Amino acid sequence: MRIFFLAIFCTGMLQASPISALLLDVQEHTGTIQASQVKIGMSGFVVRHFDETHSSIIANARVSAINSATNNAQVDLSPYDGLHQDSLPGGNWQARVHDEVVIAYDYERALFIAPDDETYAAFTKSIPNTEWMHPDTYATYLSHKGHPTPLVEDFHQFCTANSVGLLYIQSADTLFTLDCKNFALLQTAGMKPSKKESMTPFYTRITDIRANWFGAGSSRLATYEPYYLEEIALNNSKNKELYELYKAKFSEKSALLRNFDVKE
C-alpha cells in the first residue's frame, strides 16, 4: 500500500477547494488572475455577477501560464459548453475585468482508468474525500457512442456532462493525473502495477462495449498500455517534464518521443 500513500501525498493539492479570483485584465481570448495554487492545465469557468442575487457562467477558463514572481496566472477563455442546449437561447457575454474565475470547481469528482480490478480498488480506497465516477458508467457512455477505444473528446464530453474534474490513468508504472475536460497533464507519481493481466480498454464490469462500423474510436484496443501513453503525449506535446519522463522510462529511440514538440 505504500505506493498508494505516495499518490495521496502527490495528488493532495489537486483535491483542494475550488479556487476563486477576479479577472485583473482581459485581452481578447485571455485574462489574468492572481492565484498561487493553480497549475498549468487546470480548468474552470468565468462567472458574471449581475447583482447580489443573480449570476451566470459565461465562459470556460483554462490556466495556460503562471508567473511565480507575481502569483499571476494567465487563463485562456472560450465559450462555455457545460450546459449546451440548442433549444434554449444563450447569452452573448464577453468576459471582462472583475468577473469571477473559478478554477478546479469539480476536482473532488474523479474518474480512474485502471488496467485491472485490483489496481482500481486499492487506489480508489486510498484517496479520501473523492467522489469516484465508476468506470462502468464511462463504459456505458462509450457503448452509446460506439467507441470501444475512448477518444480524448469522449473524456471531455463525459466529464463535462457529469461534472468530473480529474482523470487518473495508470500506465507504465506511473500514475498520470490529468484535467478530465482538456486532458492536460497536471502531475505524475510512481505507481507499482499489480500482477494481473490488463483489461482493454480499461477495467470495467461491462463485458462488451458496442462498436460503430467505422470511424475514430470504432476499433478495439489490442493492448492497454501503449494507447494511453501515446494519447497523453500527443495532448501534452510541449510538456518538457513529461518528455524527460518518457525518455528516462523507455529510451531515446522510443517512438513515443515523436509525439513531443520540445527543445532539448
Span 125-145, pLDDT tens digits: 998 889 999 999 999 999 999
Model confidence, pTM: 0.91
Domain match, 142 and 255 both: yes
Domain match, 178 and 85 both: no
Q: Report pLDDT digits (tens) over 43-100.
A: 999 999 999 899 999 999 999 999 989 999 999 999 988 776 666 666 678 999 999 9
Domain match, 90 and 125 both: no
Average pLDDT over residues 206-221: 95
Domain match, 172 and 156 both: yes
CATH of the domain at 54: 2.40.10
Domain match, 119 and 227 both: yes
Single residue among 76, 103, 130 that ends a domain in this structure: 103
Single residue among 103, 118, 141 that ends a domain in this structure: 103
Check whether 121 has a pLDDT greater than 60. Answer: yes
Domain match, 71 and 98 both: yes
Check whether 22 has a pLDDT greater than 50. Answer: yes
Domain match, 92 and 145 both: no
Residue 227 forms part of a structural domain: yes
Residue 130 forms part of a structural domain: yes
Domain match, 183 and 245 both: yes
Check whether 10 has a pLDDT greater than 80. Answer: no
Domain match, 127 and 225 both: yes
Single residue among 68, 103, 138 that ends a domain in this structure: 103
> Would you state the pLDDT for residue 92?
77
Domain match, 93 and 115 both: no
Domain match, 162 and 245 both: yes
Domain range for 135: 2-11+107-259
C-alpha cell at 211: 462498436
> Would you state the pLDDT for residue 88?
64
Residue 264 forms part of a structural domain: no
Q: Report pLDDT digits (tens) over 170-186.
A: 999 999 999 999 999 99
Domain match, 212 and 147 both: yes
Q: How many domains does the chain have?
A: 2
